[in-house]
Copies of this chain bind each other. A is one copy, B any other.
Amino acid sequence: MSLPEFETLTLERDGPLTVMTLNRPERLNAFSVTMARELLAAFDALDADRGTRAVIVTGAGRGFCAGMDLVPTEETGGNVFGLDASVDLEGPESARIRDLGGQVTLRIFRMTKPVVAALNGVAVGVGATMTLAMDARVISTKARLGFVFAKIGVCLEACSSWFLPRLVGMQTALDWAMSGEIVDAEAMRKAGYAAEVAEPEALLATAKARALRYVEGTSPVSVAVNRQMLWRMAGAAHPMEAHRLDSRVMVALSQADGHEGVTAFAEKRAPVFADAPPEDLPEVFDWRAEPPWR
């Protein structure tokens, strides 16, 4: 399958990996309404692409993403957040004010492939929050991160109030969100935000090496369900919810990739996993399910 082309980002294959590059380097890859729509379309395409086993997200030039482009354009109609403030916030048409960043992080949340951020430079605002729904963050020593919302009079968006404490703990999450300060690579590492720190010239290779660990010798379907189960159970009230889900998924997989895996183990050979998401995911759960907007 050939990958789609976009205006604000590029997709490039490297074997089983696909690198998504935010590509507005003249604006430090600032987020726009167009970029939001293209990110949604790109993640849809990569989720459906059997050739893509994992996704790397990085930025062109010296920045990762400078946040919402704070220059009014025709598409934002003066409201730089791309929000239509005239709607009844509680009525049925309220979906028109759904935060764009949140639509992107909820889409990443539902991915069936690992998503690794390769943070090459400045990531602020939605540039910072979109990375929270990814599975791992590899950062350059030159990367900078800022949940700057308090500095410009707005709020944590892109569901970051849900994601951030689950990654760095409550105390750091509150500190970053209430100060609005920019943090450096060492602070990102200490906080547990960064899985790995690399020199700028080694960043992409490091991120790819990490993504390959999720790809080589693993069952694509297993990786998909493990990824989703961890994210979906992160807010579950009781381990019984995991028990209901994993019991059924285990039965289904034991007749598919699990059968091959155990057979190969017994025969002392490498397994050959033919199944792949999204088509071959166990049907005992709706992996695309999402609570409704309201």
Provide the residues of chain B in CB contact with A40, threshold 8 Å.
Answer: none
Q: How large is the interface on A (under 10, 10 to 19, 20 to 34, 35 or more residues)?
A: 35 or more
Whether the Cβ atoms of A179 and B261 lie closer than 8 Å is: no
| Interface SS majority for chain A | helix
- In the complex, whether A41 has a CB less than 8 A from a CB of chain B is no
Once A105-B239, A242-B162 are accepted as A-B contacts, the answer to whether A253 and B154 lie under 8 Å apart by CB is: yes
Max chain B CB contacts within 10 Å: which of A246, A253, A261, A271?
A246
Max chain B CB contacts within 10 Å: which of A154, A169, A229, A260?
A154
Provide the residues of chain B in CB contact with A222, threshold 8 Å.
Answer: 149-150, 152-155, 180
Shortest CB–CB separation between residue A144 and chain B, in angstroms? 17
Please pick, from B157, B214, B249, B252, the residue contacting A250 in the complex, using a CB distance under 8 A: B157
Whether the Cβ atoms of B238 and A291 lie closer than 8 Å is: yes
Query: With A and B bound together, what is the CA distance between A23 and B118 in angstroms?
Result: 46
Whether the Cβ atoms of B234 and A170 lie closer than 8 Å is: yes
Max chain B CB contacts within 10 Å: which of A155, A177, A254?
A155
Please pick, from B217, B250, B257, the residue contacting A81 in the complex, using a CB distance under 8 A: B250
Of A9-17, A56-64, A95-103, which binds chain B? A95-103
Query: With A and B bound together, what is the CA distance between A160 and B248 in angstroms?
Result: 14
Whether the Cβ atoms of B179 and A230 lie closer than 8 Å is: no
Whether the Cβ atoms of B164 and A262 lie closer than 8 Å is: no
- In the complex, whether A171 has a CB less than 8 A from a CB of chain B is yes
Whether the Cβ atoms of B246 and A159 lie closer than 8 Å is: yes
Provide the residues of chain B in CB contact with A163, threshold 8 Å.
Answer: 239, 242
